[in-house]
């Protein structure tokens, strides 16, 4: 038993999260990412020829995003992130086949629309990020232009960022969008195909235009530590997300091996879905599990890590997806709001409890799909328990980890757990989770306080009534 505890303690120490200072503190932020063409059609005036089918433009645009800003804000997000909006080649609904790096795609609107979007977002205290792409479409004239084809990594459409002329071009484009539209950040798509040295230069340049400009790098399965000191504020690692998908998309799946989000030296973005990985819902359905129940557990995990939660549009309605265009189904605003409400609740709890955003991570228990961990920040301690199994589970966390004579107060379902002689026994029904805060034990219960306050108030009311009655009887 003693050996077991020492082992858990050692593992916990290994799991300690230590973030280096980054230019922008993203710990209080959470990101909602929109595929502009698939979110909401704000005006049919820019739809062009509607061919139908997921391989073509389907009408979503910047005006549509403006109309849904309150929806995004309402779920508690602080950043709205947009799929690439640079002008694209035919059928570039995803925005990754760039034709003109200094023009808004006509299907999405105009620079005026983008300006209006940032203005409306800022009014709501929301930041706007857009995806930055380091490649052109497959039919770009530069690819066969003798003067420009050297700009690309051989045999690809990706810019060769080791070239000073390419660096100058990209930095010019990056600064131009900020000056034009007052956006607040870029998500750098496939940043792992560039170089940390170049990203550092790019970061310095864009942050010289706007001091608090946010840079999130999508690094595929790359090592986050490679990007330490590169001016990048946070990284998105697809490998971490796939691990979370695998663990939570099926019941009775062990929850070990999720350490990516908590072990990185650079702040990480915690996410389940994005355009490049098959959606969580599809994975759950393949496992014959109920996607909504599974999504809730995964979201509890994402929102209770010292990371930056990122939700891809449609996750909140358990939208189905797959590889390629199937991952970009049209958003539906008229379906169940069960997950929307759950996300809103998680965002509120994350706001109330700073330890969920900035705490030090310590693993307390992990066995066969039952996970308990602690986040500690200053005087505040949160305990997160997730039961990923098909049975009710009870785990006792001993006084080695938590002080005696306190209580664990539940924030998702409510209620509290007082210490027993061995510690705090957390019991969770199958496929449920809870977020607890360690609190001083309340001396008096609410009914007791009610009696304490209520009795004198009733007495005073009684005296007043008697006085009025007495006064009424007095002869004038």
Q: How far is the CB of 81 from Ca ion (least distance, A)?
A: 20
Residue nearest to Ca ion (CB): 61
The distance of closest approach from Cβ of residue 22 to Ca ion in the complex, given in angstroms and rounded to an integer, is 37
DSSP 258-291: -THHHH-SS-BEEES-BTTB--HHHHHHHTT--H
CA distances from 449 to 55, 98, 445 (A): 63, 65, 6
Tokens of 349: 């709890």
Residue 225 DSSP class: G
* Whole-Å CA distances, 385 to 66, 123, 271, 370, 374: 37, 37, 19, 8, 9
Strands 185-188 and 214-218: parallel
Q: How far is the CB of 104 from Ca ion (least distance, A)?
A: 13
Query: Closest by alpha carbon to 350, among 298, 310, 306?
Result: 306
Q: Distance between CA 267 and CA 253 in Å, rounded?
A: 27
Which residue lies nearer to Ca ion by CB, 310 or 328? 328
> What is the Cα–Cα distance from 304 to 437, expressed in whole angstroms?
12
Smallest separation (angstroms) from Ca ion to the CB of 47: 5
- In this structure, are strands 86-88 and 79-82 parallel, antiparallel, or unpaired? unpaired
- Nearer to Ca ion (CB atom), residue 105 or residue 205: 105
Whole-angstrom Cα distance, residue 200 to residue 4? 44
Q: Give the per-residue SS3 of 301-327.
A: HHHCCCCEEEEECCHHHCCCCCCHHHH
The span from the CA of 248 to the CA of 253, in Å, is 7
* Burial (CB count within 10 angstroms: exposed 0-12, middle 13-18, buried 19+), residue 169: middle
Residue placing its CB nearer to Ca ion in the complex, 106 or 195: 106
Rounded least distance, CB 60 to Ca ion, Å: 6
φ/ψ region of 261 (left if φ > 0, alpha if ψ in -120 to 50, else beta) reads alpha
Which stretches of the chain bind Ca ion, using CB under 5 A? 41, 46-47, 59, 61
Minimal distance, residue 189 CB to Ca ion, in Å: 23
195-201: long-range pairs with CB below 8 Å, 24+: 195/161, 195/162, 196/226, 196/227, 196/230, 197/230, 198/161, 198/162, 198/167, 199/227, 199/230, 199/231, 199/232, 200/229, 200/230, 200/231, 201/167, 201/171
Please tell me the distance from the alpha carbon of residue 316 to that of residue 68, in angstroms, as a whole number: 14
Percentage helix, strand, coil for the chain under 3-state DSSP, each rounded to 5: 40, 20, 40
């Amino acid at each position: 038993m003693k050996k077991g505890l020492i082992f858990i303690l050692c593992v916990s120490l290994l799991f300690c999260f230590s973030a280096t200072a980054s230019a922008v503190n993203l710990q209080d932020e959470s990101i909602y990412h929109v595929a502009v063409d698939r979110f909401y059609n704000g005006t049919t005036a820019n739809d062009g020829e509607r061919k139908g089918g997921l391989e073509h433009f389907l009408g979503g645009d910047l005006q549509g995003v403006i109309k849904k800003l309150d929806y995004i804000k309402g779920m508690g997000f602080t950043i709205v992130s947009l799929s690439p909006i640079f002008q694209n080649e035919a059928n570039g609904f995803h925005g990754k086949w760039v034709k003109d790096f200094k023009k808004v795609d006509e299907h999405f609107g105009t620079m005026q629309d983008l300006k209006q979007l940032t203005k409306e977002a800022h009014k709501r205290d929301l930041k706007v990020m857009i995806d930055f792409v380091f490649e052109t479409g497959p039919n770009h004239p530069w690819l066969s232009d003798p003067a420009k084809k050297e700009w690309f990594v051989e045999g690809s459409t990706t810019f060769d960022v080791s070239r000073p002329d390419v660096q100058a071009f990209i930095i010019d484009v990056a600064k131009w969008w900020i000056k034009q539209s007052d956006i607040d950040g870029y998500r750098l798509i496939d940043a792992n195909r560039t170089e940390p040295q170049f990203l550092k230069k790019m970061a310095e340049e864009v942050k010289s235009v706007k001091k608090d400009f946010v840079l999130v790098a999508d690094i595929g399965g790359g090592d986050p530590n490679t990007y330490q000191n590169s001016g990048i504020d946070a990284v998105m690692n697809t490998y971490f997300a796939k691990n979370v998908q695998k663990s939570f998309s099926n019941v009775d799946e062990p929850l070990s091996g999720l350490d990516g989000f908590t072990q990185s030296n650079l702040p990480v973005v915690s996410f389940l879905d994005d355009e490049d990985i098959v959606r969580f819902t599809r994975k759950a359905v393949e496992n014959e599990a109920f996607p909504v129940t599974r999504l809730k557990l995964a979201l509890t995990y994402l929102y209770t890590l010292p990371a930056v939660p990122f939700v891809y549009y449609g996750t909140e309605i358990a939208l189905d997806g797959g590889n390629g265009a199937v991952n970009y189904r049209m958003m539906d605003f008229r379906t169940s709001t069960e997950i929307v409400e759950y996300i809103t609740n998680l965002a509120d709890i994350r706001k109330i409890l700073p330890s969920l955003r900035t705490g030090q991570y310590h693993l307390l228990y992990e066995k066969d799909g039952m996970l308990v961990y602690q986040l500690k920040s200053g005087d505040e301690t949160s305990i997160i328990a997730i039961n990923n199994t098909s049975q009710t589970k009870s785990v006792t966390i001993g006084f080695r980890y938590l002080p005696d004579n306190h209580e664990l107060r539940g924030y998702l379902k409510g209620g509290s757990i007082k210490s027993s002689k061995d510690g705090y026994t957390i019991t969770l029904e199958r496929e449920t989770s809870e977020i607890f805060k360690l609190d001083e034990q309340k001396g008096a219960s609410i009914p007791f306080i009610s009696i304490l306050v209520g009795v004198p108030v009733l007495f005073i009311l009684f005296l007043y009534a008697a006085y009025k009655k007495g006064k009424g009887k007095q002869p004038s």
